[in-house]
Structure 1
């Protein structure tokens, strides 16, 4: 069973603390103490177990963003807040607890995909918003907990408003983002563990094949979208797909490198800025992506 926070007892404690605070101050400070007590009571009333979070919930963590947590403060999304739940899924990789690292790996792989269903355009996310997640612990796993809640949490400052943008997208915007997101997901999700092609040619070829397949699908989706800049991007990505296919079929490391260099260059996010502008999407390349291609 999911563990739930003892809301009633917490409210009782809050009321006692509030009464003690009011009794300890002079008459001129009573109003301020009452306001403070009301704020505290409201925060307690908004507490919810992390085991019962829903997609769309906006919240403030109780304490640090990382570490073990049992409850958070749920707030209306139009109030300043630190995080929002943007996806969820259940771990179904067997009955045995995968271990802390295993759970983190599963969340690392699944949460970006789930989050993009809710907020497809990662370029439009507020600065400082980063992907975090609530996962089962060994103890909660033993009670049947398998849920992972994927969240965007502000590492600096507060978030304002909801990050739910999927339903507001135009068809051509949604088509573009679906294809583009799939390309970069194929790139990063299939990243070989070895640092050099010579040490894992098969792994790098498998990655290249995955990216080429995603690019073919993306280009096909762009065929149905009008626009001069979209057309230019489609031509660039068609060429990129060809080079990724050459890399996927390389007989040796040298041949792979010859195809990989132009293939990687042609999916530089900066090359999509003009098409994004034409489609009415965000045009500022996220800092972490810009850094990869700048290097």
Structure 2
């Protein structure tokens, strides 16, 4: 299986190396070597094939090789670790190998969906944690491998604790997050590959239509949630939905831009901070989202 990102090395002394070293050092060195041997034995005992990862597994990757992995070290989630498996799915067995880029595209599209089932509030993720995935290689595909394991992985350092928050959410929190996540998924999943509206008016209008529909559903969900701040957000999003709908029906690029500017501003994540606080959810806008709306 291949991983989307370069592997991170987490080396440990093997039992054999540690014991050989013990014969050539003093008392304190022997103690250190024995401790190293114990750590090495624990690491060996925790090894698991990447083909048998399960949702919820917390792990540390092995080795220095970029691009491919065969085993990882499974650790208790209360120990510091690099990643946690937060979703999985299988690629259609009837397909021919889609190629490395094709497999990555499939994972790019589906892993966010699977991860949100496990960790619905992306604002609550530890700092520096991003979505990665293990996918079949051409060679493993030929043996029947179709599994994709979606993980949240620390790009620098480690984190502790499980990212499984779905079971602890109150009904109103779950409803809010489901609607909110769907809005931004509609925005980014339907993003045109063209840089300008003039180059792809139809594509941008398709995106606007998808966002307007997701907003309408989100607003309906908010109607069942009590709270002054939630009510204010609902009013804001109702206007944003109307603006996105106007953009979706724009006759030309100029009309699209006129509707798009207030529509995009209307779903600025910062506008939901007060309602999130009211609902007891995370209130710090993720850096990547903050950057988009700050520009």
Shorter chain as normaliser: what TM range?
A: over 0.9
Q: What is the CA RMSD across the aligned residues, in angstroms?
A: 1.6
- 1:30, CA displacement in angstroms? 2.0
* 2:198 match: secondary structure: helix
Q: Aligned runs of 1:135-150 on 2, under 5 Å? A: 135-150=135-150
Structure-1 residue corresponding to 2:154: 154
Deviates most, 223-232 or 66-75:
66-75
**Aligned counterparts of 2:200 and 2:25: Cα–Cα separation in 1:** 70
Cα 1:199–1:152 change in 2 (3 A) is: same
Q: Aligned runs of 1:47-66 on 2, under 5 Å? A: 47-63=47-63
Give TM-score scaled by structure 1 length. Answer: 0.93
- 1:156, CA displacement in angstroms? 1.8
- 1:16, CA displacement in angstroms? 3.3
Deviates most, 138-147 or 90-99:
90-99
- 1:157, CA displacement in angstroms? 1.8
Structure-1 residue corresponding to 2:269: 269
Does the 8 Å contact 2:93/2:146 carry over to 1?
A: no
**Aligned counterparts of 2:64 and 2:235: Cα–Cα separation in 1:** 47
Structure-2 residue corresponding to 1:40: 40
**Aligned counterparts of 1:226 and 1:109: Cα–Cα separation in 2:** 33
Cα 1:192–1:93 change in 2 (3 A) is: farther
- 1:151, CA displacement in angstroms? 0.5
The answer as to 2:116 corresponding to 1:128 is no
Structure-2 residue corresponding to 1:228: 228
- 1:66, CA displacement in angstroms? 5.2
**Aligned counterparts of 1:93 and 1:191: Cα–Cα separation in 2:** 28
Give TM-score scaled by structure 2 length. Answer: 0.93
Structure-2 residue corresponding to 1:219: 219
Deviates most, 58-67 or 198-207:
58-67
What do the CA deviations read for 1:84-141 (whole angstroms, capped 9, x no partner)?
0000000117431100111111111111111111000000001000111001111111
* 1:131 match: secondary structure: strand
**Aligned counterparts of 1:78 and 1:88: Cα–Cα separation in 2:** 22
Deviates most, 191-200 or 88-97:
88-97
Cα 1:61–1:205 change in 2 (3 A) is: same
**Aligned counterparts of 2:188 and 2:255: Cα–Cα separation in 1:** 22
- 1:65, CA displacement in angstroms? 9.1
**Aligned counterparts of 1:178 and 1:144: Cα–Cα separation in 2:** 34
**Aligned counterparts of 1:28 and 1:219: Cα–Cα separation in 2:** 66
Does the 8 Å contact 2:15/2:40 carry over to 1?
A: no
- 1:24, CA displacement in angstroms? 3.2
Structure-1 residue corresponding to 2:248: 248
